[in-house]
Amino acid sequence: MKMLFDFFPILLFFIAFKTYDIYVATITAIIATFVQVILFWLKYRRFEKMHVITLVLISVFGGISIYLQNPLYIKLKTTILEWVFALVFIGSQYIGDRNIVERMMSSAMAAPAHIWKRLNFAWAGFFILVGFVNLYVIYNFDTETWVDFKTFGMLGMTIVFVILQGVFMAKYVIQDDDEETTEEETK
């Protein structure tokens, strides 16, 4: 459900682009992201940092695109956001006791420190790569292709990366005591 909630501004952007144009899509994405931030606050009484960062970036770069009637700026927002994510992951490696990946996944996995570090840097590298691929698409394809890439290509890249991460981390998954007991009883 959270993934759908996080994805709905992109989906609305895609629909508005296919129905109207990049500028209507940009306005739609700004409004949808604002609504996303407000709904999250109403439900949890707090703001999620990445939602707020996305709102600021899409408002600034989307606003510049609309004002200058140049879609380049809304396209660049994606690369900048991916690189901000990379910086957050890299920074988390050096700030605090645990990096961001370990903080998010340690309740489900027990891995040595060097594995958490490797996985954290893998995520940072992934975000950097996606930012560069976005730049490649921006400068080598038309806006319609970029919108399709942003909507489906980036999602596909993320799904493949998460599956590969899952394969790599499977041996570190914490088993429930009930599952272990059931397996031992059947032997």
pLDDT at 88: 93
Percentage of the chain exceeding pLDDT 70 = 92
pLDDT at 30 over 90: yes
pLDDT at 25: 96
Burial label for 63, CB within 10 Å (0-12, 13-18, 19+), is middle
Tell me the average pLDDT of the chain. 90
- Nearest by Cα to 162 from 125, 133, 123: 123
Mean pLDDT of 168-176: 83
pLDDT in tens, 74-128: 999 999 999 999 999 999 999 988 999 888 888 888 888 899 999 999 999 999 9
pLDDT at 1: 64
Which residue ranges make up each domain of the chain?
1-70, 78-187
Structure token pair of residue 158: 């993320």
pLDDT at 177: 58
Neighbours of 140 (CB within 10 A): 9
Mean pLDDT of 174-187: 57
pLDDT in tens, 33-45: 999 999 999 999 9
Neighbours of 32 (CB within 10 A): 19
